[in-house]
Amino acid sequence: MSANIMGLGKEAVIADPDAKIDYLMCTFFFAKHSQTTLCRGKVTSLPKILQEWGDHPVYVMKYIEEELQKFLGRFFTTVYVTVRSGNDDETTDITTLILDLIVSDEKSVDLSSRSVGYSLQTKDSKFVSIMNMTSGQKLYS
């Protein structure tokens, strides 16, 4: 079952699938794991995954995939998440991860699905950059 998001902005309720995925991915990228006392330990947060597993790219990919699948599954009926390594150059210590996401408010991704991709670069368990691959726009650098 698809769910709308109660936002804090002027629109209050976010129902548009494109706006929902944009909002949810921004919260995943920038939320602090311990930013709330009401929901302590229940905030899905990329910085927390990097803090815990940043030195182990395989675990980072695994936990990003698992956490995003659960997190986005609360708001979309169908969610597919794939995380893969984008490192072609072994001489650098920057880790690049490619996130491929397909979300839909329907029971099938064939109907009204949204495909979204992000490229993450990290070094020493910290963000270097985040890029929205569908628009080519850098969200963070």
Going from N- to C-terminal start, the domains of the chain cover: 5-140
Q: What are the pLDDT digits (tens) for 92-125?
A: 788 889 999 999 888 766 667 888 999 998 888 8
pLDDT (tens digit, 9 = 90+) per residue, 28-75? Answer: 999 888 776 676 777 889 999 998 988 888 999 999 999 999 999 999
Q: What is the CATH number that goes with domain 5-140?
A: 3.10.450
Q: Are 103 and 114 in contact (CB under 8 A)?
A: yes
- Which long-range contacts (C-beta less than 8 Å, at least 24 apart) are formed by 98-105? 98/133, 99/64, 99/68, 101/21, 101/25, 101/68, 101/72, 102/78, 103/17, 103/21, 103/72, 103/76, 103/78, 103/79, 104/17, 104/76, 104/77, 104/78, 104/79, 105/2, 105/17, 105/76, 105/77
Rounded mean pLDDT, 18-29: 91
Q: Is the pLDDT reported for residue 9 higher than 80?
A: no
pTM of the model: 0.85
